[in-house]
């Protein structure tokens, strides 16, 4: 693994569960980013959590002490926008189940957000979910409109004693009510977001390490995009999950946290 890490020019980081948990920044995150900068290794951020806009995420990270330009942040909303433009170019009017930040991203990309006569239905994470909104979403899905879920995550990482159902759990409820699964899920593990980063920075897959805490999204996306798949045990996934996972979700490298990854990258660069 040292050889692979020695070739890394860019690190793509999942956020919640990898750099922080809920509202708590992990103590090794800022030293890790500082080490990457010192070694001349670039970094950017990807997340399936599309509850915030890019500007909101940049503000959120700044409040934690992380300076990140908005264009270094990629969410499942941007993967969904790319999917719509590529596959449903005439879908200009969207019914969106999601947060204000998600609505802002679609509006900023030129889509109309409507409650009647939509061209497609978009389901994301919605921490203000109401029964009425859920019922209207199910209605439009039942009308056989194109139905896109932003990402498949079942729960959101949190440092609180609570379970936070995510987009995948909401879609499971909608499937029970309508008999339909989403037509597409452009967020992780789809390699679309990672491929966008590769293109933006003119990188080859083996030059990129994808670091995340989920086997079925972060690690699978890394494999499908051809990048180095690094799992951190600081979030959703435990060691027992790694032991029983299949080849498609098996990481190239498992670290306890970003402190361990800092040491391994430093050692690889010193050897190189």
Q: What is the pLDDT of residues 115-144, one digit of tens each?
A: 999 999 999 999 999 999 999 999 999 999
Is residue 2 pLDDT above 70, yes or no? no
Report the Cα 38 to chain-centroid distance in Å: 26
Per-residue pLDDT at 162? 94
pLDDT average, residue stretch 6-27: 93
49-77: pLDDT as tens digits = 898 889 999 999 999 999 999 999 999 99
pLDDT average, residue stretch 41-46: 96
Higher-pLDDT residue of 122 and 198 is 122
Backbone angles phi, psi at 152, to 5 degrees: -100, 0
Is residue 202 pLDDT above 50, yes or no? yes
Per-residue pLDDT at 1? 42
What secondary structure, in 3-state letters, does 125-185 show? CCCCCCHHHHHHHHHHHHCCCCEEECCCCCEECCCCCCCEECHHHHHHHHHHHHCCCCCEC
| Beta carbons of 227 and 205 less than 8 angstroms apart | yes
Per-residue pLDDT at 96? 98
| Beta carbons of 219 and 195 less than 8 angstroms apart | no
Report the alpha-carbon distance of residue 270 to residue 189 in Å, rounded: 32
Per-residue pLDDT at 272? 58
pLDDT tier, 153 (very low <50, low <70, confident <90, very high otherwise): confident
**CB-side exposure of 248: number of CA atoms within 13 Å?**
7
pLDDT average, residue stretch 85-113: 95
pLDDT average, residue stretch 81-89: 91
List of domains in the chain: 2-48+188-271 (3.40.50.1000), 88-178 (3.40.50.1000)
> What's the mean pLDDT when you consider all of the chain?
93
Per-residue pLDDT at 250? 94
């Amino acid at each position: 693994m040292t050889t692979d890490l020695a070739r890394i020019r860019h690190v793509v980081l999942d956020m919640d569960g990898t750099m922080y948990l809920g509202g708590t920044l992990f103590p090794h995150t800022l030293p890790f980013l500082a080490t990457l900068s010192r070694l001349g290794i670039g970094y950017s951020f990807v997340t399936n959590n599309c509850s915030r806009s890019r500007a909101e995420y940049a503000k959120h990270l700044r409040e934690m002490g992380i300076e990140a330009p908005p264009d270094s942040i990629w969410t499942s909303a941007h993967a969904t926008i790319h999917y719509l433009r590529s596959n449903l170019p005439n879908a200009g009017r969207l019914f969106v189940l999601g947060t204000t930040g998600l609505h802002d991203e679609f509006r900023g990309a030129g889509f109309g957000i409507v409650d009647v006569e939509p061209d497609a239905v978009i389901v994301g994470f919605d921490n203000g979910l109401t029964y009425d909104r859920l019922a209207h979403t199910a209605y439009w899905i039942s009308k056989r409109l194109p139905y896109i879920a932003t990402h498949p995550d079942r729960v959101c990482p949190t440092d609180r004693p609570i379970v936070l159902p995510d987009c995948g759990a909401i879609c499971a409820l909608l499937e029970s009510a309508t008999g339909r699964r989403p037509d597409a899920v452009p967020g992780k593990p789809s390699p679309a977001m990672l491929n966008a980063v590769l293109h933006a920075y003119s990188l080859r897959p083996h030059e990129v390490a994808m670091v995340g805490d989920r086997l079925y999204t972060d690690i699978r996306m890394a494999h499908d995009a051809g990048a180095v798949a690094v799992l951190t045990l600081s979030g959703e996934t435990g060691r027992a999950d790694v032991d029983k996972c299949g080849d498609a979700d098996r990481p190239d490298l498992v670290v306890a946290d970003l402190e361990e990854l800092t040491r391994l990258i430093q050692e690889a660069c010193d050897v190189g």
